[in-house]
A = this chain, B = another copy of it.
Amino acid sequence: MFRTHTCGELGLGDLNREVTLAGWVQTLRKFGSITFIDLRDRYGITQLVLDEAQNEAQANIPLGREFVIQATGTVSERSNKNLIIPTGEIEIRVKQITILNKSVTPPFTIQDETDGGEDLRMKFRFLDLRRNPIKRNIELRYAVNRAARNYLHLNQFMDIETPFLIKSTPEGARDFVVPSRMNPGQFYALPQSPQTFKQLLMVSGYDRYYQVVKCFRDEDLRADRQPEFTQIDCEMSFIEQEDILQMFEGMIRYIFKEVKGIDYTDTIEKMTWEDAMWDYGNDKPDIRFGMKISNLKSVFKRKGSAEADGFLINNAGFQVFDNAETVLAIAVPAAAAWSRKQFDELTDWVKRPQIGMQGLVNIRYNEDGSFKSSIDKFYSEDRLKAITGFVNAQKGDAILILSGKEEKTRKAISDLRLELGERMGLRKNDEFRLLWVIDFPLFEYSEEDNRWVARHHPFTAPKPDQIATMINNDPLIADATRYLRHPYADIKANAYDMVLNGNEIGGGSIRIYQRELQEKMFDALGMTREEANHKFGFLLGAFEYGAPPHGGIAFGFDRLCAILGGSESIRDFIAFPKNNSGRDVMLDAPATIDDKQLKELNISLLTSR
- The interface residues of chain B lying within 8 Å CB-to-CB of A174 are 181, 597, 600
Contact pattern, A 394-417, Cβ under 8 Å of B = 1, otherwise 0: 000000000000000000000000
Contact pattern, A 437-452, Cβ under 8 Å of B = 1, otherwise 0: 0000000000000000
Give, as a whole number of angstroms, the nearest-CB distance from A132 to chain B: 11
Instruction: Determine the residue in chain B with the shortest Cβ distance to A67.
Output: B546
Q: Are A592 and B547 in contact (CB under 8 A)?
A: no
- The interface residues of chain B lying within 8 Å CB-to-CB of A138 are 158, 160, 206
> Is A266 at the interface (CB under 8 A from chain B)?
no
Considering the complex, which residues of chain A in the window 593-607 have a beta carbon less than 8 Å from any beta carbon of chain B?
Answer: 593, 597, 599-607
Inter-chain CA distance A23–B203, complex, in Å, is 11
Inter-chain CA distance A606–B181, complex, in Å, is 12
Inter-chain CA distance A589–B544, complex, in Å, is 21
Q: Are B546 and A66 in contact (CB under 8 A)?
A: yes
Inter-chain CA distance A135–B588, complex, in Å, is 43
A575-B153 contact given A42-B207, A167-B584, A542-B126, CB 8 Å threshold: no
Dominant secondary structure at the A interface: loop
Contacting chain B: which of A82-90, A214-222, A332-340, A455-463?
A214-222
Give, as a whole number of angstroms, the nearest-CB distance from A208 to chain B: 8
Considering the complex, which residues of chain A in the window 36-75 have a beta carbon less than 8 Å from any beta carbon of chain B?
Answer: 40-43, 66-68
Considering the complex, which residues of chain A in the window 202-231 have a beta carbon less than 8 Å from any beta carbon of chain B?
Answer: 203-208, 214, 216, 218, 220-221, 227-228, 230
Give, as a whole number of angstroms, the nearest-CB distance from A556 to chain B: 14
Query: Can you name 7 A-B pairs with beta carbons within 8 Å?
Result: A101-B543, A101-B548, A101-B549, A106-B545, A164-B214, A177-B178, A599-B606
- Chain A residues near B (Cβ < 8 Å): 1-3, 22-24, 40-43, 66-68, 100-104, 106, 124-127, 129-130, 135, 138-139, 141-142, 145-146, 149, 153, 158-168, 170, 174-190, 197, 200-201, 203-208, 214, 216, 218, 220-221, 227-228, 230, 238-240, 243, 513-514, 537-538, 541-549, 574-576, 578, 581-584, 586-593, 597, 599-609
